[in-house]
Structure 1
Amino acid sequence: MILRRVMEHVRTQNWLAVGIDFVIVVVGVFIGIQLGNWNESAAERRQLDRQLIAFADELERNLDELSSYRDAKQARLDAINEVRAALAEADGDVEEDTLNAGLFAVTAVTNYRPETVAFDDLAASDAFSTLAGTPLREEISKWEADVVYLQRLDRDALEHRDHIALPFITEHLSFAAVLARGQVAQAAGFTPSSFKNDRVAPEDLRTLDGVLAIRFGTIALSVVVAERLMQQTEDLIDLLPQEGSR
């Protein structure tokens, strides 16, 4: 209809009317584009809100996992401290259960594996870039960095176990006696070892103390990072929208 009217005005050489029609068309197109952009932006915002809510729920679940991880690491610190103190006082003679508990703490590695499905979905979305420069994005960056750091510490622990602790224990002590303490071995019906770990040769004491000390240091750092990550997770949850808040 607007095209017929423009053609009519051109035939009659009513240039003022042609100009008005042109302005009407341009304004209409502009408003249409703006409305389309607004609708698209609103849809992206709603999607981002849904993703942030899912991320908050995921973090809540990860907190429980992180707390269990921290407690397991702390228990291993206590076991290592106990056996190091016993070895220092007894000059190599130590209760078998105490020594095996300390050695088990060195060889058992707990890996932190947080649930990241919601976070990965959020990070891959185009709307995530709209958070750049906000306090929320800063907190997410700190949280992500410490998750990566904690997992790297776990990988370092595996390297120490596989290349230092296990070779020493299997050569100078009974790893079978240590393994028998594990729940998995017990559940699988592992036959108890005929060897006992109740004495460490004097020439091995210094090396064993170093093995225990190195592992203590990496576990202690994991505990520190885990506790920091727990606080960062709680702070992040406070910044994220919650279900029912929209």
Structure 2
Amino acid sequence: MILRRLTTALRKQDWFTVVIETLIVVFGVFIGLQVNNWNAARVERNSEQVLLLRLQEETRSLLDTQKKELAAHSPRIGLATDANSVMFSLAPSRPLTNEECWALLVSHWMPSPTEALSSLDELLASGRFDLISNPSVKAALRDYAVVQERSRAARAEAVSELFRLHTRYPDAIWLEVGRAEDAGYVSPSAGRDDKGLVWRYSCDIDQIRGNKGLLSEYSDNIARLESFLDRYEDRIAVLTVLDTELAKELGASGSRRESDAAP
């Protein structure tokens, strides 16, 4: 309709009408583009909001898991420290306690930590990291990505040369299967099978003291274990910051939505 009127005005050389009709067309196109931009921005804000909520849920869950895993592994260092003076002949000889023997036997054990933040992995893989508009949240996410990468590299290096002391020095530390009702040293992580048998562990302090090879490898394991636990501290620190920044942003977003909805 507008184009037909514009064509007619051009034939009649009605320049005023031409200008008006042209302005109407340009203004209509501008408004249409602006509406599209507003809709795209609204969709992006909604997508960001959903993503932030997912990130907050995952961050809090992961933070809780990291703290539990750290709490489960940390006592091993304390048990090792308690036994060191006896093992390295710095104190009179005595049998290791059940717990100290267990800590010595599993000094090589460094299971894969729970550290994945799925939403962050998806953002990085899809190249949509800029969907996050808050610079503080983005900085915290970047920090966690760096810490996570360093953690994985450190663990890969640590587990490449760990020493299973009970297989290398079976006369000093060993495992055996016995009946559940018998007296003996039962690992806190020992399982029970259908026949009521359990794994037991034993440590011979006389074989351990003065065994330079065993003590050197044990010391190496403990140093790697301490580094393994330090990585937990690093992840927890960054996740705590991320959780704080997400809470601030989501609180601010909620306030903005309430303000927009107010009459």
Question: Identity rate of aligned residues, in percent?
Answer: 20
- In structure 1, C-alpha distance between the alignment counterparts of 2:87 and 2:240, rounded to whole Å: 40
After superposition, where does 1:165-244 map in structure 2 within 5 Å? 165-166=163-164, 168-173=165-170, 174-177=173-176, 181=187, 183=189, 185-188=190-193, 190-192=197-199, 196-201=202-207, 205-240=211-246, 241-242=249-250
Distance 2:72 2:157 in 1: 17
Moved more, 132-141 or 3-12: 132-141
What is the aligned partner in structure 2 of residue 42 from structure 1? Answer: 42
The verdict on how the C-alpha distance between 1:198 and 1:135 changes in structure 2, with shifts beyond 3 A counting, is same
1:1-246 residue pairs with structure 2 within 5 A?
1-89=1-89, 94-95=95-96, 97=98, 100-124=101-125, 128-131=129-132, 134-161=135-162, 165-166=163-164, 168-173=165-170, 174-177=173-176, 181=187, 183=189, 185-188=190-193, 190-192=197-199, 196-201=202-207, 205-240=211-246, 241-242=249-250, 245=254, 246=257
Separation of aligned partners in 2, 1:136 and 1:99: 43
The structure in which a higher percent of residues are helix is 1
TM-score by structure 1 length? 0.81
DSSP-derived class of the 2:211 partner: helix
Deviation at 1:91, TM superposition (A): 7.9
Structure 1 residues 177 and 91: alpha-carbon distance in aligned structure 2, compared to 1, 3 A threshold: farther
For the aligned residue pairs, the C-alpha RMSD in angstroms reads: 3.1
SS at match of 2:224: helix
Per-residue CA distance 1:76-135 (angstroms, 9 max, x = gap): 111222232221236876436355223233132232113523333444566531547922
Which secondary structure state, in structure 2, belongs to the residue aligned with residue 176 of structure 1? strand
Say whether the 8 Å CA contact 1:87–1:93 is kept in structure 2: no
Residues 120-173 of structure 1 show CA distances to partners (whole Å, capped at 9, x for unaligned) of 344456653154792221111111221232333333343233xxx12x531322
Distance 1:126 1:159, change over 3 A: closer
Greater length-normalized contact order (CA 8 Å, ≥ 6 residues apart): 1
Give 1:61 deviation, angstroms.
0.8
Q: Shift of the alpha carbon at 1:38?
A: 1.9
Consecutive unaligned residues in structure 1, runs of 5 or more: none
The one-letter code sitting in structure 2 at the alignment partner of 1:128 is F
Aligned residues: 240
Instruction: Tell me how far 1:210 sits from its aligned partner.
Output: 1.8
Structure 1: how far apart are the matches of 2:3 and 2:237? 64
Contact 1:139 1:232 (8 Å CA) reproduced: yes
TM-score by length of 2: 0.77
